[in-house]
Amino acid sequence: MSERVKIALEWLKDVCDSQEVEFQIVGGLAATIHGGSREVADIDLYIQKSDADKILPQISSYISRPLNHYIDGSWDLEYLQLIYKSQKIEIGLFPGTKIRSSENGLWCELHTNFSTSVIKSYLGVEVPVIPVAQLISYKRILGREVDLIDIQELECVSAP
């Protein structure tokens, strides 16, 4: 667990809450929150595309990669990257995100359902997180080494 991640997560939550922007934590941080053990590299989250303009004024001074459409490796999405107090944060926009299947190379639409988020705590910061089954599902499609590690750990902690 990282104090740097906690500080950035508190700030991010405050920004989103103050502008009434729904968000969902995904990626490695979601895996850690659900019981995984990998060190958190960045904070990944999704917001509605229509909400991006609401938070841009509060986050603009921290933008390290501007809001744009990117196709990079396994991802085809609109997102922006921030650095807040040394912590990298990547905010993806929904809808429109696609991920490439490691199995067949085809692009799959990634659906973010904010209504299914589960409220979980990271060092006392309560945030909406992608449900573990959905996280495993999209990590299985991506199939990168880090995803396989997360899947193995998450299947162990979520097993009855």
Q: Is residue 71 in a domain?
A: yes
Q: Is residue 117 in a domain?
A: yes
Quick count: other Cβ atoms within 10 Å of Cβ 148? 14
Q: Is residue 90 in a domain?
A: yes
Q: Is residue 35 in a domain?
A: yes
**The two structure tokens encoding residue 40:** 């958190």
Quick count: other Cβ atoms within 10 Å of Cβ 16? 22
Q: Is residue 160 in a domain?
A: no
Q: Is residue 159 in a domain?
A: no
CATH of the domain at 93: 3.30.460.40
Q: What is the pLDDT along the chain (160 residues), one digit of tens a residue?
A: 689 999 999 999 999 999 999 999 999 999 999 999 988 999 999 999 999 999 999 999 999 999 999 999 899 999 999 999 999 999 999 999 999 999 999 999 999 999 999 999 999 999 999 999 999 999 999 999 999 999 999 998 766 5
- The residue segments making up the domain with residue 110 are 3-154
Reported in sequence order, the residue ranges of the chain that DSSP labels E, i.e. its strands, are 23-26, 42-48, 63-72, 75-84, 87-94, 98-100, 107-109, 118-122, 125-129
Number of domains composing the chain:
1
Question: 56: which DSSP letter?
Answer: H
